[in-house]
Chain A
Amino acid sequence: DSGVTQTPKHLITATGQRVTLRCSPRSGDLSVYWYQQSLDQGLQFLIQYYNGEERAKGNILERFSAQQFPDLHSELNLSSLELGDSALYFCASSADVASGNTIYFGEGSWLTVV
């Protein structure tokens, strides 16, 4: 158990809908990361937050947004969903943003868009 908690574990929704994925980082970790894993694209970095502020952006679509709240949990919002958004979405956390810090992954949220 990494200590990173993600909910829901599985989600099935229709095209055009909006979903929210939730992540609680490990106790004491200030930085949260979101990744998307799909068969054709591999593990793609979406976005990073540190202590409530956006730190870095990767290949995140404009239809997607995220935030980190004062209690350090984070949410990833996916809207106007398309079939191609079906993937495993991981949240990860690290103590801070110093280089070399290990990031710890949650077990992921499986999103299926039908």
Chain B
Amino acid sequence: AQSVTQLGSHVSVSEGALVLLRCNYSSSVPPYLFWYVQYPNQGLQLLLKYTSAATLVKGINGFEAEFKKSETSFHLTKPSAHMSDAAEYFCAVNIPGNQFYFGTGTSLTVIP
């Protein structure tokens, strides 16, 4: 079975601080993994995705994520938070047939 667990439904960081959003997956097949961001009153936008090439994936807006098979993790990081990063972040695992299983989301608050 495939599933995604996002630890921490709410994360608060100070502006300029490191952002770390956690995602662990379960998959019976080699996974493709995605991070999406949802700004208020908008749809989900792709931040980055892992498709079995480099394990460190760089995305938009300075975000990156590292695929760690041994830990079944795909945590999202950004060295320095900006106020505009405040949003909901979703991790997703993609399985054959291009079906997506999304985590429950992590709401990021950036404190000035």
A residues sitting closer than 8 Å to B (CB atoms) are 2, 4, 31, 33, 42-43, 45, 48, 55-56, 90, 92, 94, 96-108
Contact = CB atoms under 8 A, between A and B. Distances in A.
A50 to B, nearest CB: 9
Contacts of B99: 45, 48, 56
Contact of A43 (B42, B51, B102): B102
A99 B97 CA distance: 6
Interface stretch (B14-22, B61-69, B70-78, B88-96): B88-96
Main secondary structure of the interface of B (DSSP, over half): strand
Contacts of B102: 42-43, 45
B55 interface: no
Contacts of B51: 100
Interface of B: 32, 34, 36, 41-46, 49, 51, 90, 94-102, 104-105
Contacts of A101: 94, 98
30 contacts: A2-B45, A4-B43, A31-B98, A33-B100, A42-B102, A42-B104, A43-B44, A43-B90, A45-B100, A45-B102, A48-B97, A48-B99, A56-B99, A90-B43, A92-B44, A96-B98, A97-B97, A99-B32, A99-B95, A99-B96, A99-B98, A102-B46, A103-B98, A103-B100, A104-B46, A105-B36, A105-B45, A107-B41, A107-B42, A108-B43
A98 B34 CA distance: 15
A109 B41 CA distance: 10
A105 B43 contact: yes
Nearest to A90: B43
